[in-house]
Amino acid sequence: MIVLGIESSCDETGVALYDTNRGLLAHALYSQIDLHALYGGVVPELASRDHIQRLLPLTNDVISKAGIQLSDINGVSYTSGPGLAGALMAGALMARSLAWSLDVPALGVHHMEGHLLAPMLEPNPPPYPFVCLLVSGGHTLLVRVDGIGQYRVLGESIDDAAGEAFDKTAKMMGLPYPGGPHLAKLAEKGDAKAVSLPRPMMDRPGLDFSFSGLKTAAITRYKLDDKPSDEDLAASFESAVVDTLLGKCARAMKQESLNRLVISGGVSANQHLRAEAGKLCKKLNGEVYYPRLEFCTDNGAMIALAGAFRLQAGEREALGVKIQPRWSLESLPAL
């Protein structure tokens, strides 16, 4: 079965074709970074309008890259939430209409399930069960995963997501949007021990996160007269986020008696996080899995894959366009 996947939940338009026999056939991505950079963050109305302009050209692009015909598509999946309502609507309308015109099924996919399953696109996919750390711009979740749709949220951020804390701290330091990767680049040249910053919520039991106070602590140091160098502050901030994320991962793995860890979502592209996660899993005699770098951040391939798993299992949705800007991962049906 060949599934066309469409991602448009935020500021990236992603389109891909996934074949349940042959794997990923083609994918294409258009990032709206330049469009929003001027404003220092995503402007929802501009995002929606831009998705509308990119969706059809990108779809034609993947069809020609894959060397198939439009009529070879057997199903269409799209991100129906969580995300920006207008942006989601652009993808949902296009996906639903195309599926209707081709007389094939369509299915709305949960964006975070897309991130969670993205490592399954790699040659060495993680076997179930595993602990999954989902770290994106909008969410920070620790999940026990026993199979597709078998998700138990063990912990989540009670305020800012990890990526959001990276972006807001970077913005205060005058770095361009989106700040996460820019801050990480600065951190490479800094001393992570130069500035002492908190490891929030590590001193109490539980698996929830909080990054808002850490962000404020970093920004406060930046505003002081004797402020540290940008490089040192970036390295110290990055280190505090990574220590906190992995401290909770270790706790979750112990609690669930699992030694396999999956890390996915935009922040999983962070090299310091990857290096430290590698050390942690080695210590625990386990293994850590990631998507390839380009599939850590938003993309169409993960939505085509998640949709293909579910459509192949017979999941269908009624005719009509429905988006779910707020949507719990635990409410998804098990396959």
Q: Which does 86 bind (CB under 5 to 8 A by kind): ligand KG4, Zn ion, none?
A: none
Q: For residue 157, give the amino acid letter.
A: S
75 SS3 class: strand
Q: Which does 166 bind (CB under 5 to 8 A by kind): Zn ion, ligand KG4, none?
A: ligand KG4
Q: Which is nearer to ligand KG4, 20 or 212 (CB)?
A: 212
CB of 69 to Zn ion, least distance (A): 30
The residue ranges that bind ligand KG4 (CB under 6 A) are: 10, 136-138, 163, 166-167, 178-181, 184, 265-267, 269-270, 297-298
Both tokens of residue 261?
């860890």
Q: Which does 181 bind (CB under 5 to 8 A by kind): ligand KG4, Zn ion, none?
A: ligand KG4
Q: Which is nearer to ligand KG4, 185 or 254 (CB)?
A: 185
Q: Which is nearer to ligand KG4, 187 or 258 (CB)?
A: 187
Q: Which is nearer to ligand KG4, 81 or 126 (CB)?
A: 81
Q: Which is nearer to Zn ion, 164 or 298 (CB)?
A: 298
CB of 156 to Zn ion, least distance (A): 15
Q: Which is nearer to ligand KG4, 73 or 296 (CB)?
A: 296
Q: For residue 248, give the amino acid letter.
A: K
- Dihedral-angle region of residue 272 (phi above 0 means left; psi in -120 to 50 means alpha; beta otherwise): alpha
CB of 320 to ligand KG4, least distance (A): 25
Q: Which does 167 bind (CB under 5 to 8 A by kind): Zn ion, ligand KG4, none?
A: ligand KG4
Q: Which residues contact 129 (CB under 8 A, 6 or more apart)?
A: 144, 145, 146, 147, 256, 258, 260
The residue ranges that bind Zn ion (CB under 5 A) are: 136, 298
- Chain-centre distance of CA 224, in angstroms? 34
Q: Which does 269 bind (CB under 5 to 8 A by kind): ligand KG4, Zn ion, none?
A: ligand KG4
Q: Which is nearer to ligand KG4, 253 or 267 (CB)?
A: 267
CB of 72 to ligand KG4, least distance (A): 29
CB of 266 to Zn ion, least distance (A): 6
Whole-number Å distance between alpha carbons of 162 and 180: 9
Whole-number Å distance between alpha carbons of 285 and 279: 10
CB of 114 to ligand KG4, least distance (A): 9
Whole-number Å distance between alpha carbons of 91 and 6: 6
Element (H, E) at 240: helix 230-256
Q: Which does 163 bind (CB under 5 to 8 A by kind): ligand KG4, Zn ion, none?
A: ligand KG4
> Cβ distance 119 to 299 under 8 Å?
no
Whole-number Å distance between alpha carbons of 331 and 160: 22
CB of 137 to Zn ion, least distance (A): 7
> Cβ distance 225 to 94 under 8 Å?
no
Q: Which is nearer to Zn ion, 136 or 169 (CB)?
A: 136
Q: Which residues contact 79 (CB under 8 A, 6 or more apart)?
A: 6, 7, 8, 9, 88, 91, 108, 109, 110, 111, 114, 303
Q: Which does 267 bind (CB under 5 to 8 A by kind): ligand KG4, Zn ion, none?
A: ligand KG4
CB of 49 to ligand KG4, least distance (A): 19
- Chain-centre distance of CA 97, in angstroms? 26
Q: Name the percent of the chain in helix, strand, coil, to the closest 5.
A: 45, 20, 35
> Cβ distance 227 to 233 under 8 Å?
yes
Q: Which does 288 bind (CB under 5 to 8 A by kind): Zn ion, ligand KG4, none?
A: none
